[in-house]
Amino acid sequence: MNPFRLVYEDKKSKARRGVLATAHGDIQTPCFMPVGTQGSVKTLSPGELEEAEAQILLSNTYHLILRPGIEIIKKAGQLHRFISWRRPILTDSGGYQIFSLALLRKVSNEGVEFQSHINGDKYFLTPKTIIEYQKILGSDIMMPLDECVHYPCTKDYAAQAMKRTLDWARCSKAQIANPVRNDISNGASDKQLLFGIVQGSTYEDLRKDCARQLVDIGFDGYAIGGISVGEPKSLSYNITNKIVENLPKDAARYLMGVGMPEDILEAVEIGVDMFDCVIPTRYGRNGTAFTSEGKLVVRNAPYSCDFSPLDKDCSCYSCQNFSRAYIRHLLCSNEILGLRLVSLHNICFYLELMRKIREAIKEDRFVEFKKEFLNRYDTAD
């Protein structure tokens, strides 16, 4: 049974609304997934995320393998119970993090050998073991091991990485039917979804070929990897558009690691459904708030006597209760509450943006909404 249902397509663009069914609930798309790399969205509690109406969180298998370790999460009764999160979870394989290790890893057709960035211990991950680990985690959506390349890279290298990604995708799909060693019997692993990941760098023919082969293999959804790794934005948009054109309409489309509001709007317009990024909380910890008028560096001196909220159009807890002046004071005093308040606001801003996007699509006014948003929103850094 197809887990994704296309609900509505905007009449003036390729933007669309859908519902992705998972074991822990339905997800309304387009959606943004707050990133809890190690099972925690930095500075925020699961209760705060639920109150902000986050539909799904993203965690990283690579990081969870290293710390606290798969066995501990298994003993806890899978990841949802371990982190006290009742809604869906997507677990990334950690392929991007592994390939970012450069000198600390060795790639072969069988898998990846790497050294822990924590203590130097050696690990060897294969496309089969990464699925086995995610079965034990009990995540709702699993991502296969893939080889991500940086920009720029030669076409030969991109083609080799794409072929390896496809081979690993086939292995991952085959592993779905196999039982987990020493399986835990709560049944969640029987309902897990598996997405394929499109690679191929900035080479249009490689991306199209990879997408078509993944569709032939058959997955519950399709992710676009290797975007926003240093290439110009115009090139990112073009490649994403070409990939989407080669993905089925009746499957969820997930653009990995892309998270500036203007980039999300561009991708929604060409038919992308799912997004994740560390940007909201990373910027929050650095004292930068996302607002309806653009990014606001709260640490800056002009806000020392500014008693307005971070964003007058926002109804989050931070904006309803605290001023820019107070939050700046907290940040300059190294008070943890300051980081929390800006991070919470940023997550709420992103989730509210997605709600407004879904509503605009429903009313066939996404193009107008995007234009109005960007006219007010200053994209300058």
Nearest to 257 by CA among 124, 133, 99: 99
Q: Name the residue with tokens 């130097």.
A: 120
3-state helix, strand, coil in the chain (%, to 5): 45, 20, 35
In 188-282, DSSP assigns E strands to 193-198, 221-224, 252-255, 274-277
Q: Annotated catalytic residue: which of 92, 146, 263, 273? A: 92
Ramachandran area for residue 187 (φ above 0: left; ψ -120 to 50: alpha; else beta)? left
User: With the CA atoms of 274, 279, 281 and 282 taken in that order, what torsion angle do they form, in degrees rounded to the nearest 10?
Assistant: 150
Q: Return the amino acid letter for 158.
A: A
Q: Annotated catalytic residue: which of 10, 273, 276, 311? A: 276
209 is catalytic: no
183 is catalytic: no
Cα atoms in the 13 Å half-sphere on the side-chain side of 318: 31
Chain-centre distance of CA 80, in angstroms? 17
Residues 6 or more apart from 356 whose CB is under 8 A from it? 369
Give the three-state DSSP class for 121. Answer: coil
The angle at the Cα of 47, spanning 46 to 53, to the nearest 5 degrees, equals 90
Strands 89-92 and 141-142: parallel
CB 176 within 8 A of CB 131: yes
Nearest to 242 by CA among 275, 216, 276, 206: 206
Please give the structure tokens belonging to residue 80. 């949802």
Residues 6 or more apart from 331 whose CB is under 8 A from it? 287, 298, 299, 338, 339, 342
Q: Return the amino acid letter for 324.
A: R
Please give the structure tokens belonging to residue 134. 């995610």
Provide the residue count of the chain.
381
Nearest to 37 by CA among 117, 110, 108, 114: 117
So which residues are the catalytic ones? 92, 276
